[in-house]
Amino acid sequence: MRSIRETPDRTSPPRVVCAAVILALGPIGPVACGPRVAPPIAAEHGDDTPPRHGGTVRLAEIGDARNLDPAGPVDGVSLPPVHLMFAGLVDFDDHAAIAPDLAESWAVTEEGRAYRFVLKPGVSMHDGQELTAEDVKRSVERALHPSAPNPTASMFEGLVGFDAFVEDRADHIEGVEVEGRYVIGFRLKEPDAAFLPLLAMTTLRPVCRNGGWRYSDDWLPCGAGPFKLPPGGWQRGTSLHLVRHEAYFRPGLPYLDGVEWTFNMQALAQRFRFEAGDLDLVRSLSQADQRRFSADPRWSPYGGTDADTNVYGESMNTRTPPFDNIEIRRAVASAINREHYRLLKPAYLTVLTQLVPADIPGYDPSVRGQHYDYDAALEHMRKAGYPYDPRTGHGGWPHSIDYPLYDQGLLVFTAQLLQQDLAKIGLHIELRLVSWQAFLALQARPYGAPISQGSWDMDYPDPSSFFDPLFTTRAIDPEGGHNIAFYSNPHLDDVVAEARRESHEDRRRALYARAAAIVCDEAPWAFAYSHHWYRLRQPYVRGDTPHPIWHVDVTTTWLDRAGRSLEQVLGEGLRR
């Protein structure tokens, strides 16, 4: 057995001395005390050791989980626990491809209008009941019923009978049919190639019978996932403790006894707890700490990045001058130096030149996209009728343009970069700091914000999750539509609709490549970057691979941690 502390930290002064120095010098004390990145806590066995059962993995989040019911609003914090508690008919594998989960097989018929799933028999839910097709139907209707606070219900409007059900004209959704004890069928109004990814998300995942046919705020979440919520396991606003579902349908899994999240924990506190061995994996390190750990050879093998699943860019209101002029939009798309954006947070940002991020299935590297080209930007300004001479500073758009932004670290800096880049082509933007809510309200108004930062995170891993809500004509809606560029192009609408119906993978990819080319050329957005998280684990956390969709999926994670060092035990004892 190896020692717990693989390499004792001999470079740092004793803790008491450091404490005294910090008290004397205040916040600059840590600097005087030297770089104090604690050493990793080594695994007990070598890399070839088979997985072991037991232990609880401890995680933390800066935010709070608001809801753990798949029929409610599932945000970024609650997504991993909801995924671990509720198994779906299908799921995503480590490459975001569709994989069977509760369904052992499925068939797509009627040219993509009908999906028929055969459930694995003998699947035990957390309450001990066996999962049947009736449970699936009940869970679907529970999630889509108007009484549920489900913000994604309308994504399933393609189901036959959805409208009648939502408008309370029918008690059940006609297009969800129980065809046998273990067979469930879904019928769609028209073919939808995105139906499987949509189904693989958490919204329609089966819930236990005590969840009933209708949503209730008081229900104790209960599903068929690898971990279950014990009574009192969720201390709202504070912590969440899930325990192993002993009767999970995948034999031998999960390895862990439990998973524990602590919420609302600041980044610095996460770092300190992680170093002390009180957290096993962190995803919210500050940029300074990320650099510190990445640069440390003891830690670098245990760090990595999550997938890019979002898009950030400059959204230009196509109804408002000067961005109603396509050449001006093209000029902006060419004038932005995306590499400068990336350098603001190099470990967290990836340059994005097209709409779909690289880690989303359907991303097409052959799409040329938007690129920085200063000469081209000047040429577009000339074609727009507003030539700009960079030597004299004459020309360009004669008015200043409002750019609303809210006080969020990165946005404040990207806005200044944008201001500088656009000034070089004769577009002068004026930054206007507003609250987050005011920012959203301005973006939603047809003439509210001429240009502002647009951002979008995938709802499900498919190009349709980006094109449909952001750039189609039907997504223009003053009551909260997401086409904040108010961009409308019937040709693009047709291509995107056709791609959504197309089940043949190559033809679908070609259609989305055409859509991407249109959007990049007409530039309702100047795409800029996507954001991902840096994650760091202790060496004794095994089997942890960043999941492209769920980010934290500990179904196959196991702990190989030996007894704790005297220092840690004493430290913990004192802390308690």
Footprint on this chain of another protein (rule: CB under 8 A):
15-16, 18-19, 22-23, 26-27, 29-30, 64, 66-67, 72-73, 75, 146-147, 149-155, 157, 217, 236-238, 262, 264-266, 268-269, 272-273, 276, 435-438, 440-442, 456-457, 459, 469, 477, 479-482, 570-571, 574-576
Q: Which CB sits closer to another protein, 74 or 422?
A: 74
Q: For residue 346, is the peptide bond before it cis, meaning its omega torsion is within 30 degrees of 0?
A: no
Alpha-carbon gap, residue 43 to 5, rounded angstroms: 10
Q: How far is the CB of 217 from another protein (least distance, A)?
A: 5
Q: What angle, 0 to 180 degrees and rounded to 10, lies between the N-to-C axes of helices 409-423 and 326-335?
A: 110
Phi-psi region of 551 (alpha: psi -120 to 50; beta: other; left: phi over 0): left
Which positions ≥6 away from 368 have C-beta within 8 Å? 353, 517, 520
Q: How far is the CB of 207 from another protein (least distance, A)?
A: 16
Q: Give SS3 for 503.
A: coil
Q: How far is the CB of 431 from another protein (least distance, A)?
A: 18
Q: Which CB sits closer to another protein, 152 or 557?
A: 152
Q: Give SS3 for 77.
A: coil
Q: How far is the CB of 149 from another protein (least distance, A)?
A: 6
Q: How far is the CB of 52 from another protein (least distance, A)?
A: 28
The two tokens of residue 286 are 């500050």
Q: Which CB sits closer to another protein, 243 or 376?
A: 243
Q: Which CB sits closer to another protein, 150 or 354?
A: 150
Distances (CA, A) of 264 to 62, 66, 84, 237, 572: 4, 12, 20, 7, 21
Q: Which CB sits closer to another protein, 72 or 369?
A: 72
The two tokens of residue 204 are 């329609």
Q: How far is the CB of 400 from another protein (least distance, A)?
A: 22
In this structure, the dihedral spanned by the alpha carbons of residues 359, 360, 366 and 369, taken in order and rounded to 10 degrees, is -90
Q: Which CB sits closer to another protein, 543 or 571?
A: 571
- Between strands 114-119 and 103-109, the pairing is antiparallel
Q: How far is the CB of 239 from another protein (least distance, A)?
A: 9
What is the CB neighbour count within 10 angstroms for residue 570? 11
Closest CA to 90 of 120, 69, 66, 125: 120
Q: How far is the CB of 82 from another protein (least distance, A)?
A: 14
Q: How far is the CB of 470 from another protein (least distance, A)?
A: 10
Q: How far is the CB of 387 from another protein (least distance, A)?
A: 38
The two tokens of residue 123 are 């699947």
Q: Which CB sits closer to another protein, 270 or 337?
A: 270
Q: How far is the CB of 468 from another protein (least distance, A)?
A: 10
Q: What count of Cα atoms within 13 Å lies in the side-chain half-sphere of residue 206?
A: 29
Alpha-carbon gap, residue 420 to 427, rounded angstroms: 9
Q: Which CB sits closer to another protein, 388 or 466?
A: 466
Q: Give SS3 for 271.
A: helix
Q: Which CB sits closer to another protein, 1 or 16?
A: 16
Q: Which CB sits closer to another protein, 18 or 253?
A: 18
Q: How far is the CB of 296 from another protein (least distance, A)?
A: 18
Alpha-carbon gap, residue 429 to 404, rounded angstroms: 10
Closest CA to 302 of 70, 536, 41: 536
Q: Annotate 138-203 with three-state secondary structure.
A: HHHHHHHCCCCCCCCHHHHCCECCHHHHHCCCCCCCCCEEEEECCEEEEEECCCCCCHHHHHHCCC
Q: Which CB sits closer to another protein, 20 or 344?
A: 20
Q: Which CB sits closer to another protein, 146 or 212?
A: 146
